[in-house]
Amino acid sequence: MLFVFAPAPRRAAPDTREAAFHDRARPNWRITVATTTLHRLTRDGADRPVWRVVGHGEDRWALTALPKPR
């Protein structure tokens, strides 16, 4: 499952919302949950390491390198 955090009126910055999501999220090894921001995605592209996977720390991954669910 991929989540893209985009700018929104009267909301925190996308980077802040992404960080808060990762602080609260719990890894679920049946599905892979990865997040990015719209800015990072449009600037670098999905094939670059822009995806941050829940439960894998601060590292960024390319779309093709995301871990497979067990």
- Tell me whether residue 45 is in a domain: yes
Query: 35 is in which domain, residue-wise?
Result: 2-65
How far is residue 14 from each of residues 17, 18, 52, 68, measured CA to CA in Å? 5, 6, 13, 26
Residue 70 lies in a domain: no
Per-residue pLDDT tens digits for 1-11: 999 999 999 99
In the chain, how many domains are there? 1
Q: Give the tens place of pLDDT for each residue, 37-62.
A: 999 999 999 889 999 999 999 999 99
Residue 20 lies in a domain: yes
Give yes or no for residue 31 having a pLDDT over 90. Answer: no
Residue 59 lies in a domain: yes
Whether 36 is covered by a domain: the verdict is: yes
Q: Which amino acid would we find at residue 40?
A: R
Whether residue 38 lies inside any domain: the answer is yes
